Structure 1
Amino acid sequence: MTTSQPREPLPGTPDAAEELAGLPREFPPHRWGFGAFLLVEAVLLASAAFVSVLVGDPAPGQPLPIRTVLLGTMLPTMIAAGVAVLATSLRGNGPVIDLRLRWRWSDVKAGLKFGLLGLVLTSLSAYVWTELVGNADATSAISALIDDRKMSVSAAVVMFVYLWLAGPICEEIIYRGLLWGAVERLQWRSERWGRIAAFLLSTAVFAASHLEPLRTTLLLVIAVPIGLARFATGRLAGSVVAHAVNNFLPAVAILFGALGLSSF
């Protein structure tokens, strides 16, 4: 497949006429594609493996230190997102244009709607999943890491901020930003078909990339409203807000559990 013509604001999306306000009306198509995404995924996996060896296993019976939280859960995803941004800067027009990072209040509203929808779907799906296969199989990797383990207050707050805000931003840059843009870059029958393909592939890859096979179906349910926010707005901010809303209650639950307040 060949690359498309220079990318213009997606027709039919909110504020499409103002999408490139203050920017040149024409700009060259970006030169990155699936290779950039695969590189980012390789960096994510390699840095996670390296950090796991560096941090080692936490001492049993001791609160998780902030170093383990920062390095073990946050650093690999943040490094990978940084590489994604760097790829757009070196091989494209930068993250604002290539990843559609321009901010609109309409994106916030759409993200809130899809995020709340995601919360409902996630809660129902998690309940059904737990009834069918048990609570252990529905536990995420992060939940398993801190299960029955207290944290220092600083570590717990950092974990909360990451799960609620920093993590969604980084993951959206990688999946609904870089991967989405790589799919759209291919020549489709219409831009709408390209967006549909980007939605479907990014949703599936997002779920599979967590490397939690037992929870892949549940992660697909979580990913659909987030991808719909990106599809509906045509920009990344909508899916970031939806992702953050969807993560808020689980992040609060993990925060309380880590501080030993789960009984309240």
Structure 2
Amino acid sequence: MTTEREATETSGSQLAGPPVRTHRWGFGAFLFVFAVFVLSAVVIGAIVGTVAPESTNSATVALVGTIVPTVLATVVALLVTKLRGNGPAVDLRWSFTREDVRAGFKFGALGLVCTTVAAVVWTNVVGEENASSAVSQLVENERMPISAAIAMFLFVWLVGPICEEVIYRGLLWGALERLAWGRWAVFGLTTVIFAVSHLEPLRTSLLLVIGIPIGLARLFTGRLGASIVTHQVNNFLPALAVLLVALGVMPA
């Protein structure tokens, strides 16, 4: 019988069947992690609103309210795999091989093309005034300290993609495979949930397009490293644009 570790090492050039899942966590773990994300964001907002209500709309405070819940939810997801499974390397297919990086750049390049075209179409549909992400809106009307702007850039480009991939194409993907869903069904549902769970209804269709090449990287390699790199490549230009706007170098 093929073990989980052997399945993890399957060549990314072949679309193998779903690996055998032996962990004790499932879809409930994903729901719990998502609840941690939402509740921690609410708690941070409530604390700021009570202690320093004048800072509620501050870009720096909003940034903290985005980073902390995301990182906290990711830590909980990793703990779930350690406490009720085989650890992230096996359960989440966590790896960063040379093959993963190459595949990530290939799918990332595809993602940049698809996202650019989709963003142009989407902007024409919703209008220029509505064509900003939640992160972009944080910096459009307020200059940020350089340290906060750099932190935001690094989070959007590097850290955020790692966190989101652990949660959606690691934990959620593994939970659906444990339910014996087929690879393409898992790819489709995780892409939809990824888009919807950003809680930006106007951008959901665009996020679906963004999520497709990222999910394909996970689908065709069978590993999380490729989707992380794809996500990071896809996020680089938007992160750079937000940084330049935050520093006042580029107009909003």
Partner Cα separation in structure 2 for residue 225 and residue 15 of structure 1:
16
Native 8 Å contact 2:59 2:138 kept in 1 = no
Native 8 Å contact 2:8 2:90 kept in 1 = no
- What is the aligned counterpart of 1:210 among 177, 198, 201? 198
Q: What SS class does the counterpart of residue 141 from structure 2 fall into?
A: coil
Deviation at 1:137, TM superposition (A): 2.6
One-letter identity of the residue aligned with 1:162: F
Deviation at 1:129, TM superposition (A): 1.0
Equivalent residue number for residue 72 of structure 2: 79
- The question of 1:13 aligning with 2:11 is answered yes
Equivalent residue number for residue 170 of structure 1: 163
Deviation at 1:14, TM superposition (A): 2.6
Structure 1 residue ranges without an equivalent (≥5): 17-26, 189-193
| Aligned-residue RMSD, C-alpha | 2.4
Larger mean Cα displacement after TM superposition, 156-165 or 121-130: 121-130
- The question of 1:88 aligning with 2:76 is answered no
Q: What SS class does the counterpart of residue 255 from structure 1 fall into?
A: helix
1:16-71 Cα deviation digits (max 9, x unpaired): 9xxxxxxxxxx9710000010000011111011111222346659x9744x553x2
Larger mean Cα displacement after TM superposition, 135-144 or 204-213: 135-144
Equivalent residue number for residue 197 of structure 1: 185
Partner Cα separation in structure 2 for residue 252 and residue 42 of structure 1:
30
Equivalent residue number for residue 112 of structure 1: 105
1:178-213 Cα deviation digits (max 9, x unpaired): 00000111235xxxxx22121111100000000111
Q: What SS class does the counterpart of residue 139 from structure 1 fall into?
A: coil
Partner Cα separation in structure 2 for residue 15 and residue 102 of structure 1:
16
Structure 2 residue ranges without an equivalent (≥5): 15-19
Equivalent residue number for residue 248 of structure 2: 260
Native 8 Å contact 2:26 2:176 kept in 1 = yes
Using the size of structure 1 for normalisation, the TM-score is 0.85
Deviation at 1:103, TM superposition (A): 2.0
Deviation at 1:6, TM superposition (A): 5.6
Equivalent residue number for residue 223 of structure 1: 211
Deviation at 1:104, TM superposition (A): 1.0
Equivalent residue number for residue 96 of structure 2: 103
Equivalent residue number for residue 123 of structure 1: 116
Partner Cα separation in structure 2 for residue 238 and residue 58 of structure 1:
42
Equivalent residue number for residue 249 of structure 1: 237
Larger mean Cα displacement after TM superposition, 49-58 or 203-212: 49-58
Deviation at 1:12, TM superposition (A): 6.1
Q: What SS class does the counterpart of residue 9 from structure 1 fall into?
A: helix
Native 8 Å contact 2:21 2:177 kept in 1 = no
- Spell out the pairing of 1:24-43 with structure 2 (5 A cutoff): 29-43=22-36
State the percentage of identical aligned residues: 54
Equivalent residue number for residue 17 of structure 2: none
Partner Cα separation in structure 2 for residue 214 and residue 33 of structure 1:
30
Native 8 Å contact 2:169 2:218 kept in 1 = yes
Equivalent residue number for residue 185 of structure 1: 178
Partner Cα separation in structure 2 for residue 112 and residue 248 of structure 1:
12
Native 8 Å contact 1:206 1:223 kept in 2 = yes
Native 8 Å contact 1:58 1:64 kept in 2 = no
Q: What SS class does the counterpart of residue 151 from structure 1 fall into?
A: coil
Using the size of structure 2 for normalisation, the TM-score is 0.89
Q: What SS class does the counterpart of residue 13 from structure 1 fall into?
A: coil
Partner Cα separation in structure 2 for residue 92 and residue 132 of structure 1:
45
How many residue pairs align between the two structures?
A: 243
Change (3 A) 1:90 1:105: same
